[in-house]
Amino acid sequence: MLPAPPPATLRLNIDRDALAANWRALDTLSRPGRAGAAVKANCYGLGVDACVPALRDAGAADFFVAHWSEVAAVAAHVPAASIAVLHGPINRAEAEYARAVGARPVINSLTEAARWLEAGGGPCDVMVDTGINRLGLAAAELADPLIARLEVDTLLSHLACADEDRAMNEAQLRDFAALRQQLAARRASLANSAGIALGPRYAADLTRPGLALYGGVPRHELAGAIRQVAFPQAAVILTRQLKAGQSVGYNATFRATQDTPTAIVSLGYADGFLRCWAGASLAYHGSALPILGRVSMDMVVLDASAAPDLREGDWIDVPYTLPEASAATGLSQYELLTILGRRFHAEQSGCARDAASAKASA
């Protein structure tokens, strides 16, 4: 048996109060409908175990994942019947698994509809394409007798350009309204995070926010309502003095013009901190520490001139206000969240953690 490892040199602080507040804000903006929660991709990289309980306790009652392999982790915190699987049953094994666990498959084709009925059927959702041309039935296929045999909980479609002011938004809204009249579904759902910001006409009965739950701001209308949720930090693993004329890192892309104190930080592109961050700055107690040279797989080198007291083991803040980080790197806000690596040790703050601690000690 190996001893427990020492503390990680990367940590990801998850503010569950902010996450819950974001859901409540989006739920209010979804009126007269209600907000669900997209929790696919391990809650956009921030962790199902940290995020789903906070969303559940805030009031979320509908959860969306992409893969069947994601169901079990989410179902550890919420009823399986509250989980919809967007990729649908692409084979008989997935249809049988859905029946066994009780999660709802999203039917995206007539073939999937037949497969679900052959497996025994039950509650499901139906996706209809209104222009994004990814998953979903063609509009004309809603009239197929197979669809009439389904027990449809929610009719879904997906906006293609909600983060932009495009005529396509209105066209999809109009087409979806017409399609709702053709299918006897209990509910209808069209808007993602950006769609919620388009206003209550897009809310339908159920919205599916994802990015904005976790701190993303896909449209300016949400800027004042959404709080940052993810706060990455990395530890200093070495400090050293760079002499004038010496270079830093691969390909010697930076060469010092004067003696410069530096800090080597345990963070690199293997952790989702990609080379496009080169030239940006990290922070120590509010002081900006510019990155020198290229981002390596496991480390970056910082100019520590603004932090003369910096020592090995000190924690450096990674600027992760998503709209600003996106502008600095050229990465989308979605990418910035979902590429965070597995070496980050997740830590939680907020009422959800405090409630769990109180329960454990009771």
Strands 230-242 and 10-15: antiparallel
Q: Residue 112 belongs to a domain with what CATH number? A: 3.20.20.10
Compute the C-alpha angle 349/270/48, nearest 5°.
35
Q: Residue 292 belongs to a domain with what CATH number? A: 2.40.37.10
Based on the fold, state whether residues 146 and 23 are members of the same structural domain. Answer: yes
- Separation CA 107–CA 126 (nearest Å): 5
Residue 236: give the domain boundaries: 230-319
- Separation CA 233–CA 85 (nearest Å): 33
Distance of CA 349 to the CA centre of its chain: 18
**pLDDT score, position 351:** 56
Based on the fold, state whether residues 46 and 141 are members of the same structural domain. Answer: yes
Based on the fold, state whether residues 210 and 269 are members of the same structural domain. Answer: no
| Domain count of the fold of the chain | 2
Based on the fold, state whether residues 237 and 211 are members of the same structural domain. Answer: no
Burial class (CB in 10 A: 0-12, 13-18, 19+), 260: buried
Based on the fold, state whether residues 235 and 211 are members of the same structural domain. Answer: no
Q: Which of 44, 250, 284, 320 is catalytic?
A: 250
Q: Which residues contact 301 (CB under 8 A, 6 or more apart)?
A: 248, 249, 262, 263, 264, 265, 291, 292, 293
Based on the fold, state whether residues 78 and 138 are members of the same structural domain. Answer: yes
Q: DSSP readout, 282-349?
A: EEETTEEEEEES---SS-EEEE-TT-TT--TT-EEE----HHHHHHHHS--HHHHHHT--TTSEEEEE
As given in the structure block, the two tokens for residue 335 are: 């990418």
DSSP label of 124: E
Based on the fold, state whether residues 250 and 150 are members of the same structural domain. Answer: no
**pLDDT score, position 168:** 97
Listed residues 218, 242, 269: the one ending a domain: 218
Would 349 be classed as within a structural domain?
no
- Separation CA 348–CA 295 (nearest Å): 27
Based on the fold, state whether residues 238 and 209 are members of the same structural domain. Answer: no
- Separation CA 320–CA 335 (nearest Å): 12
**pLDDT score, position 75:** 98
**pLDDT score, position 349:** 86
Would 41 be classed as within a structural domain?
yes
With residues binned 3-state (H G I as helix, E B as strand, rest as coil), the percentages for the chain, rounded to 5, are 35, 25, 40
- Separation CA 52–CA 60 (nearest Å): 9
**pLDDT score, position 360:** 32
Active site residue 284: no
Per-residue pLDDT of the chain (362 residues; tens, 9 = 90+): 999 999 999 999 999 999 999 999 999 999 999 999 999 999 999 999 999 999 999 999 999 999 999 999 999 999 999 999 999 999 999 999 999 999 999 999 999 999 999 999 999 999 999 999 999 999 999 999 999 999 999 999 999 999 999 999 999 999 999 999 999 999 999 999 999 999 999 999 999 999 999 999 999 999 999 999 999 999 999 999 999 999 999 999 999 999 999 999 999 999 999 999 999 999 999 999 999 999 999 999 999 999 999 999 999 999 999 999 999 999 999 999 999 999 999 999 885 444 433 333 22
Cβ-based neighbour number of residue 351 at 10 Å: 14
Would 356 be classed as within a structural domain?
no
Nearest CA to 216 among 34, 11, 25?
25
Active site residue 359: no
**Helix 110-118 to helix 92-101 angle, to the nearest 10 degrees?**
60
Q: Which of 40, 44, 269, 284 is catalytic?
A: 40
Q: Give me the residue label for tokens 């209550």.
A: 200
Collapse the DSSP code of 45 into the 3-class scheme (helix H, G, I; strand E, B; otherwise coil) and give the result. coil
Would 328 be classed as within a structural domain?
no
- Separation CA 72–CA 290 (nearest Å): 42
